[in-house]
Each structure stands twice: as structure tokens, then as C-alpha cells.
Amino acid sequence: MRIGYSRVSTVDQDPELQIAALNDARCDRVYTEHASGNSRKRPEFDRLFESLRPGDTLVVWRFDRLGRSVSHLVQLIEQLHARQIELTSLTEGIDTTTPIGEALFTIFAAVAQ
């Protein structure tokens, strides 16, 4: 399954652009969060993360929608890799279902160690 995740930092921001892009990317389900990236409380992300299964692809609009910091993002990528979950960032053009995307994914995972 392709699972999308959108996040806006404030209630004044509109996630519709992200949601439309995730739907265009053929996500089977999209989780939307209204929370700061620095917040440790992200219930929609927690639900999404628990729902992911090996072979799934997590699709995000941009990496900054996913992680609180570079170190947090690298840690998350390592967890996804360990669980055999692919990752696609629509604006950065990284897709771990492709050879180049997998190479970039491996570099991120190596940095985490």
C-alpha cells in the first residue's frame, strides 16, 4: 500500500496542496496532522507508523513534513529500512522503489550509524 502523510504546523495553514499531491501520487490512504514538526505529540503520525507493513511505501510531500530535525529524520529512515518500508518524497524526488532512491536511502541509513 501507498500511505501518505501530510502535516501543517498551525491551524491557519491549509494541508490541501499536500493532500492533493499525495492523492495524485495514488496513495491508498492519507493521514493529516496539524502539529509543529518540533512537537513530540503527533497522534496521526503514530497511527500511520503503526499501520505500516513490510512492502508498504510511505509518501510525503517533503521530508520536512516528516521529521523534527535531520537526526530525527535519519533515525526514522533507518527504522523504515529495518521494517522493509519504502519511502517517497514528492518534492525532493527521492523514491526508494528505484535504484537511485534506494542508494540515497542507504546513504541516509549509513549516516545514522
What are all long-range contacts of 69-75, with beta carbons under 8 Å and residues at least 24 apart? 73/108, 74/108, 74/109, 74/111, 74/112, 75/112
Residue 9: closest CA among 38, 31, 30: 38
Give the span between the Cα atoms of 82 and 69, in whole angstroms: 20
Q: DSSP states of 76-92 as a string?
A: HHHHHHHTT-EEEETTT
**Of 6, 9, 71, 89, catalytic:** 9
Annotated catalytic residue 39:
no
- Residues noted as catalytic: 9
